[in-house]
Amino acid sequence: MRKPHRPVTGNDFLHRNKVLALLLGLPILAFFLLLPDLRRGRTSPNSSSGTLPFSADRRPPKLAYLISATRGEGRRVKRLLKSVYHPWNYYLLHVDLAASPEERQDLKEYVGSEPVFVRFGNVQVVENTEVVMVKGPTMMSSTLHAAAILLREVKDWSWFINLDAADYPLISQDGMLPLLCYGIIKNDLIHILSFLPRDLNFVEHTSNIGWKEHQRARPIIVDPGLYGSDKTEVFWVKDKRSLPSSFKLFVGTVLYYKKETPYCGHY
């Protein structure tokens, strides 16, 4: 008997493409940030400045990850966690109520048996979970719940990254693609972010959200996860709602700045 699984939709592909575009775009941003220093380094090879990967005010940032999964995705969670794991970061694993108790227990045992996870104590499985529907408000609720746990229990992370078990492959944390400037620096996500201001957010600069207004902001969605424990798809009401008048809508990426995280919802 085949296990039921979540259907892949066009928006799922858009989400994965946004994740990939963000992580591939960071090396380009780092290129422009590092270009002046690299040029100075070429003209002044004996200079003692800029020789170390991190200066005193460029310590590597700590990232907080949420990896969400549902029934039958335990192996995907483990695969993704291995891909993005770094002892410097924090990882929160959320398996919704559609997964069996055996699946949830298996994930807990895996986290508790991996020596590196035990040594650094930076991987945690969310205890009190709920049914999560893709594209429904329960998905936003689980994201905010995870962010609240991270804000309460760990204090020294800079950015929050929200991933799904299907978001694989991703760029690894160490020694990923060679940076395309002079071919002398190995690029990794932590290294790139270390050159960025810790208060940098990835929210778009305009409230003109384009196609998302009609496809995401105005539709009325009924999420069965708010009313029961059965895993079913959300359904869409035929009528549309008007945009809010008391505030404006902005969109961003899966990478959230820490201080804005309590106010963010994934749109």
C-alpha distances out from residue 178 to 27, 85, 158, 183, 193, Å = 9, 19, 24, 6, 16
Phi, psi of 141 (to 5 degrees): -60, -45
pTM for the structure as a whole: 0.63
Widest Cα–Cα separation across the chain: 69
* Residues 81 and 111 sit within 8 Å (Cβ to Cβ): no
**CB count in 10 Å sphere of residue 170:** 18
Tell me how far the alpha carbon of residue 132 is from its chain's centroid: 17
- The answer to whether the bond into 169 is cis (omega within 30° of 0) is yes
For 202, other C-beta atoms within 10 Å of its C-beta total 14
Question: For residue 35, what are the β-bridge partners?
Answer: none
**Would you kindly state where each structural domain of the chain is located, as residue ranges?**
10-35+57-207+245-263
User: 28-32, 145-149, 165-169, 186-190: which has the minimum mean pLDDT?
Assistant: 186-190
Predicted confidence at residue 55, as pLDDT, reads 36
Task: State the chain's mean pLDDT as an integer.
Answer: 71
Task: Quote the pLDDT of residue 132.
Answer: 84
**Pairwise CA distance, residues 234 & 257, whole Å:** 29
Contact indicator for 170, 84 with CB cutoff of 8 Å: yes
- pLDDT band of residue 20 (cuts 50, 70, 90) is low
109-155 pLDDT, tens digit each? 999 999 999 999 999 999 888 888 877 878 888 888 888 888 889 88
Per-residue pLDDT at 171 exceeds 50: yes
Distance CA 9, CA 178 (A): 33
**Dist. CA 128–CA 94, nearest whole Å:** 9
DSSP bridge partners of 225: none
Q: Is the pLDDT of residue 24 over 80?
A: no
Any residues with CB less than 8 A from the CB of 170 and at least 6 apart, and which? 19, 20, 23, 80, 83, 84, 163
**DSSP code string of 37-55:** HHHHHHH-TT--TT-SSS-
